[in-house]
Amino acid sequence: MMKLKKEITHNEFAETNYPLDGFTDTHIHTSPDVKPRLLTDIEAAMDAKKERMNAIVIKSHNEPTSDRAIIASDVTDFSVYGGVVLNSSIGGLNVAAVKSSALIGGKFVWFPTISYSSIKINWSHVEDILHVAKENHMVIATGHLKSDDIFTLLDMAKSLGIWRIIVNHPLTKVVGASLDEQVEMSAYVYLEHCFVGCMKKHDELDPGLIKDSIKKVGAKRCLMATDFGQIHNPHPVNGMKMFIDTMVHEGISIDEIYLMCKDNPNKLVNP
């Protein structure tokens, strides 16, 4: 896999001043968590509110964030969305957990991430989960599924008329979708490109690979998110500014960035 053309440092965001008005970051990791995190749900929401963003989505690999999102929203008077990741800690492909999340306002259902290699995909359970998601206007996210499972999931979702679907960080090692596969996926879903993949201690992706995917697929079928919250990375709002600056230098236009950071994610999270 190609490496970075240049080192991206944490200080670069100080040189950028892109407004984040109306933007939504669909992928942030916050505390409390089993891993050290840079900031709490409420701190992440306050940072985003100061930037006049539209919303943030908080995610944990180990526990639902549906209830935490409600608390953060109430405390900060800012839109915070959560959901449930279908990992072993909540019983894997647990339909009851998805129903519970939906009942308290959970917006996202992520398929297995850190437990993907140890969970056998029961497609009957997947179908039940998709029905719950459709009934509650939830967003389906593919987590760390590999391409073959992603395509099976997309076929099932499409047959049910579900359109709120995200393929998470398709270029990273945990997913590894080819450019041709990304093009095929994007006919029906949004590709969520996460800046964390370009960071040290992560995949150190060449940002040009993200640019190539955006140009090939089209910004109207892509999202830009940070996937930040790790203690060794910048705050998510600064990470988003770094991401914008990086993509602009790669040749992505501001209009394309507005589509990926504002219009597309807001369609997904709005009722």
- pLDDT tens-digit readout, 189-247: 999 999 999 999 999 999 999 999 999 999 999 999 999 999 999 999 999 999 999 99
pLDDT value of position 16: 60
Domains and CATH numbers, the chain: 10-269 (3.20.20.140)
Half-sphere exposure of residue 55: CA atoms within 13 angstroms, side-chain side: 21
Q: Is 223 strand, coil or helix?
A: strand
How would you classify residue 143: left for phi > 0, otherwise alpha for psi between -120 and 50, otherwise beta? left
Determine if residue 229 is left, alpha or beta; phi over 0 gives left, psi from -120 to 50 gives alpha, anything else beta. left
Q: Is the pTM of this model over 0.85?
A: yes
Strands (E) in 92-248, as ranges, are 108-110, 139-141, 165-168, 190-194, 222-225
- pLDDT tens for each residue of 238-247: 999 999 999 9
pLDDT given for residue 1 in this prediction = 36
- Whole-number average pLDDT of the chain: 94
Supply the pLDDT for residue 5.
44
